[in-house]
A = this chain, B = another copy of it.
Amino acid sequence: MDPWRLRERAYNPGYVGQTETLFAVSNGYLGIRASFEEGEPSYRPGTLLNGFHETWPIVYPEQAHGFATTGQTIVRVPDGTAIRLFVDDDPVTCETTEVRQFDRALDMRRGVLDRSVVYQLADGRRFRVDTRRFASLAQRHLACLRYEVTALDAPGSVVISSELLTPRAAEGPALDPRQSRALTEGTLEPGLERAENVRVIRTWRAARSGLVVAVGMDHEFDEQFVTHVRTKLDGHRADVAFQADVQPGQTVTLTKWLAYHHGAEDAADLADRAGVTLLRARGIGYSAALADHERVVTQFWQRSEVVWEGASAAQQALHFSLFSILQASLRSEGHGVPAKGLTGTGYEGHYFWDTEAYVLPFLTHSSPNVARSLLMHRIRMLPAARRRAREVGCAGALFPWRTINGEEASAYYAAGTAQYHIDADIAYALDQYVKVTGDADLLFRHGAELLVETARMWAGLGFFSQRHGGRFVIHKVTGPDEYTTVVDNNLFTNLMAAENLTLAAEAVDRVRVESPPDFRTLVEHTGLREEELATWRRAAERMYLPYDEATGVHLQDDSFLDQAPWDFAATPPERYPLLLHYHPLVIYRHQVIKQTDVVLATVLLPDRFTAHQRRQIFDYYDPLTTGDSSLSECIQAIAAADVGKYRSAEEYLVDAAAVDMADTAGNLRDGVHVASAGGTWMAVVYGFARYRWRSPRGPEFSPMLPTRARRLRFPLRIHGSVLDVDIEEHRVTYSVRHGDPVTAHHYGEEFTAVAGSPVSFSGDYHTHDAAPGPAPSDTA
């Protein structure tokens, strides 16, 4: 198995849904599903642009005050993957022509998708079609398809029809809530269009959101040999056709450029910009454009690759996970990371806490500029979050549970708006980013305001309860586990709220001292009053943490342990995920967990628990966790490693890595699971290397080697330096690749690595299930 290449060596029409996702190419701005150039067979071909969406009024069969009103759905934009081939005027496709050879490979090291198909016509003539496509990471508005037809043994008159297809609307209603919601009517209205020779530029407008997309398509070909025969536009299709008489051994080559620009701007402006993108692409030419793209990919791997020696399947899966994040985020500037990246329309293209909790850890430690861009994207949502807070009776700012444009789009508050923890997840990610990168500028100029407004939300949401000995309680919230909703004192939420409150108070103090002008601006923007800080600190200190004396285990919430046990033995595999087979009330009244909740708290805030408590928690909650969410296994892997259950940890790691590679969730066709991809990195780095950054101790490691690995290596970017961590069976080496010295801890022992002087520790780093060793930041 090639650890760098995902390959499909045969024509598998039954898996087009999955392969359209798996082989998609994307740069974080522009994503193209891996539909065949021939157009058929297909599941849902599509090109998606980050942030390009339609809105619709959410209609509730029973309305209530403050319910989210603005539905948002990513919509497919005109797609340029179709390049149809005709030989002697007959169409050549996998469905109608005999396929002699088929080979498709996503080359993750280069960021390109290649395909080679040998067709044999009814008369025995064979033609090979070689295609390559990429969504440029160097120029994010640009995608390129290279198309080559070779006559293998006989001549043929070849017509190549390069198309741009506008998706038809009206998809059926989604019964699976994880899919994209149906838009019940056509959404894209045609605008101006320009066709000139082999270049076409068209614009469309999403009727309700008002967003406009301009799509340009241009072609390069050998004019000596190939004839441009027509350029035709109709309502749903633009078609530029070429003709050539191909001799045996001869190859016709077509380069197809696609340019996408979208925004709220004037269609003519966007069309002009698409024209400029095409012009520049043609100016650079195919080889140079490809090289520019590959250079970015190479740099990504240099600063990001997790090297897993000893199991090529594991290495391939790890590459795919990181490649998925690359594709979902790298050029997302100005936008977020949709739950499915740009590989499918699942979850409507919404941004969730997935970004902050699962994707940012990796990006913060490898591509901090991308992490910063994503945090800025959240910060720009502050005005909408303030409005949303008012609507639902909160102080400060409440970020939407799911959104594209900043407005709450969750139409089921119990597993949406009630997940107030989104505020704290963002605050936590922001703090990690600032601590790990040292980028105080973001904190001073923007981040502090976000921390203030989220802290205010918490201070207003809970109250000091007489009945809880004056402790600060937070009621009617939903934690990460969506199988238990609208509860009192969800432990995860309370702990994360305390963290948020503390971080806000600390940040305000820091800005005041370190950057007085920014402090003045902060006070001006927020009307911050000094006494608020005292309240936040007091609420954080006196935060109520539900704990059961009888069993000695922390409670997921006040009443979790009061619920009936779920009869796992009587639940056959086909009844999972439970959410598709049981009424929510049935699920809610049982001790059954969709995704880690208390366990996630032990992973994010390990210092709030003793090692013993973390073990108690893992032992109690892990068996109750269905993993019906792809956000779960990666966290279970980290927690299992933390408590010394390395075998479980490795199984969970494999599960996390397999969610897309093996389509274990069964919904790969709707897009990859970006959060699980980020979580897979976390499972290795937070799990097996047991890395964590908690104040005041900074970076800490207690690494162990998975049984399937001979050696594990990965870089971490810390305060501008790159620290390489190299875990072998009997040695762990920390070396600074470049930059300032890095001080960290290895199993509690402080060390400083200086560029050129690696620090090594000897020991037995084989995993064997036993009592846990000392854990990061163990306060017990």
Using CB atoms and an 8 Å cutoff, list the residues of chain A in contact with chain B.
58-67, 71, 173-177, 181, 391-393, 410-414, 416-418, 463, 465, 467-468, 473, 475-476, 486, 488, 550, 558-559, 561-564, 579-586, 588-589
Contact = CB atoms under 8 A, between A and B. Distances in A.
Nearest to A488: B559
Contact of A562 (B177, B475, B550, B585): B475
Contacts of A561: 467
A62 B467 contact: no
A61 B58 contact: yes
A399 to B, nearest CB: 15
Contacts of A488: 559, 562-563
Given A562-B465, A585-B413, A64 B392 contact: no
Contacts of A175: 63
A167 B753 CA distance: 83
Nearest to A585: B476
B475 A412 contact: no
Contacts of A392: 583, 585-586
Contact of A475 (B61, B564, B582): B564
A175 B410 CA distance: 18
A550 to B, nearest CB: 8
Contacts of A177: 62-64
Contacts of A562: 465, 467-468, 473, 475, 488, 558
Given A412-B62, A558-B559, A561-B467, A585 B173 contact: no
A71 B65 contact: no
A71 B61 contact: yes
B391 A583 contact: yes
B411 A62 contact: yes
Given A486-B588, A559-B558, A588-B486, A582 B66 contact: yes
A584 B416 CA distance: 13
Contacts of A176: 63
A628 to B, nearest CB: 12
Given A63-B175, A476-B585, 5 more contacts: A61-B181, A61-B411, A414-B414, A463-B564, A473-B562
A588 B485 CA distance: 13
Contacts of A393: 582-583, 585-586
Nearest to A391: B583
Contacts of A410: 62
Contacts of A63: 173-177
A176 B63 CA distance: 7
25 contacts: A60-B411, A62-B177, A62-B410, A62-B411, A63-B174, A63-B175, A63-B176, A63-B177, A64-B579, A65-B579, A65-B581, A65-B583, A392-B585, A413-B583, A413-B584, A418-B585, A465-B562, A465-B564, A467-B562, A473-B562, A475-B563, A475-B564, A475-B589, A476-B588, A558-B559
A416 B62 CA distance: 10
Nearest to A68: B61
A175 B589 CA distance: 31
B66 A583 contact: yes
A534 to B, nearest CB: 21
A63 B180 CA distance: 12
A393 B587 CA distance: 10
A720 B488 CA distance: 52
Which one of A59, A173, A175, A486 has the greatest number of beta carbons of chain B within 10 Å? Answer: A486
Q: Which secondary structure dominates chain A's binding surface?
A: loop
Contacts of A391: 583
The 4 closest A-B pairs by CB, nearest first: A66-B583, A61-B411, A62-B412, A393-B586
Contacts of A67: 583
Contacts of A416: 62
Nearest to A410: B62
B589 A476 contact: yes
Contacts of A60: 60-61, 411-412
B64 A412 contact: yes
A486 B559 CA distance: 12
A207 B173 CA distance: 21
Given A562-B488, A588-B476, A582 B65 contact: yes
Contacts of A467: 550, 561-562
A585 B181 contact: no
Contacts of A473: 562
A285 to B, nearest CB: 48
Nearest to A182: B59
A25 to B, nearest CB: 31
A375 B204 CA distance: 60
Contacts of A412: 60-62, 64
A377 B410 CA distance: 39
A393 B58 CA distance: 29
A488 B591 CA distance: 13
A411 B61 CA distance: 6
Contacts of A588: 476, 486
Nearest to A584: B64
A177 B65 CA distance: 10
Contacts of A584: 64-66, 413
Nearest to A60: B61
B563 A65 contact: no
Contacts of A579: 64-65
A561 B174 CA distance: 40
Which one of A60, A175, A393, A558 has the greatest number of beta carbons of chain B within 10 Å? Answer: A60
A506 B129 CA distance: 81
Nearest to A489: B562
Contacts of A585: 392-393, 413, 417-418, 476, 486
A384 B514 CA distance: 69
Nearest to A184: B59
Nearest to A559: B488
A181 B63 CA distance: 10
A549 B31 CA distance: 62
A60 to B, nearest CB: 7
A67 B410 CA distance: 17
A209 B467 CA distance: 52
Contacts of A417: 583, 585
Contacts of A65: 579-584
Nearest to A551: B467
A20 B564 CA distance: 51
A305 to B, nearest CB: 39
A695 B283 CA distance: 95
A174 B177 CA distance: 25
A64 B583 contact: yes
Contacts of A64: 177, 412, 579, 583-584
A403 to B, nearest CB: 14
A476 B587 CA distance: 10
Contacts of A414: 414
Which one of A62, A63, A71, A486 has the greatest number of beta carbons of chain B within 10 Å? Answer: A62
A412 B411 CA distance: 12
Which one of A581, A582, A585 has the greatest number of beta carbons of chain B within 10 Å? Answer: A585
A225 to B, nearest CB: 55
Nearest to A393: B586
Which one of A174, A418, A476, A580 has the greatest number of beta carbons of chain B within 10 Å? Answer: A476
